[in-house]
Structure 1
């Protein structure tokens, strides 16, 4: 059995690389005051966590997989701290409208993506 710390580290490494790649890919295509790269990785992560929650609820899944996927991969992929910093910077630049849109998109769409993942997980 692999140590939980190692599983979290491996999952976290993969999640961090995924985050960087996805964020940069989206940001290079959509250059905007609102960080759509951060939004994209958050929505993907929320969808995966909703899906995993439903699967883990109804199927026997090892604690190793939970540590790897939820704590490691999703923990490194999603970017609440980046989201908060981008929002703070928008407020600081007096871009109030963009800051509020950023908050609404991340929170509202985030909940929808988690729900969508959860609903898809019901069918697996």
Structure 2
């Protein structure tokens, strides 16, 4: 990757990441207000939404061939990278353990991983359907 493309990629990732992080904050705040703090619905929601959208976007970007790299940087690496959050998932698991709610950890990890995997495949299937020529 030459220097110009590297800098363009960096700027696209930063722009997408800013929007993704803001979107994560909005979704998390709305779900916290709606459902309270008993379960991390915001993190679960953004990770599942992000999985679905990432699956869709991967197919959509791949259909563009070599012209798709800016979209990959902006949308997948930046937007979805900023929206989803593995570190929050892990911190929330630690909080559950420290507050003597360890049983929730297994449930939370299972639904996050199983549904995340399901959603990324569903997003990819939708992407293949929509982008099919």
Query: Does the pair score TM above 0.5?
Result: yes
Please tell me the root mean square deviation across aligned C-alpha atoms, in Å.
Answer: 1.5
CA separation in 2, counterparts of 1:38 and 1:53? Answer: 22
Structure 1 spans left out of the alignment, 5+ residues: none
Structure 2 spans left out of the alignment, 5+ residues: none
1:69 alignment counterpart: 75
Cα displacement (A) at 1:59: 3.4
Cα displacement (A) at 1:62: 2.3
Q: Which has the higher helix share?
A: 2
TM-score by length of 1: 0.92
Instruction: Choose which of 38, 58, 64 in structure 2 pairs with 1:59.
Output: 64
Cα displacement (A) at 1:32: 4.3
TM-score by length of 2: 0.86
Are the aligned partners of 1:51 and 1:121 in contact in 2 as well (CA < 8 Å)? yes
| 1:61-100 → structure 2 map (5 Å cutoff) | 61-100=67-106
2:111 alignment counterpart: 105
Which is higher, the Rg of structure 1 or of structure 2? 2
Instruction: Choose which of 111, 118, 122 in structure 1 pairs with 2:124.
Output: 118
CA separation in 2, counterparts of 1:64 and 1:56? Answer: 9
Are the aligned partners of 2:61 and 2:68 in contact in 1 as well (CA < 8 Å)? no
Deviates more, 1:52-61 or 1:16-25: 52-61
SS in 2 for 1:3: helix
Deviates more, 1:92-101 or 1:114-123: 92-101
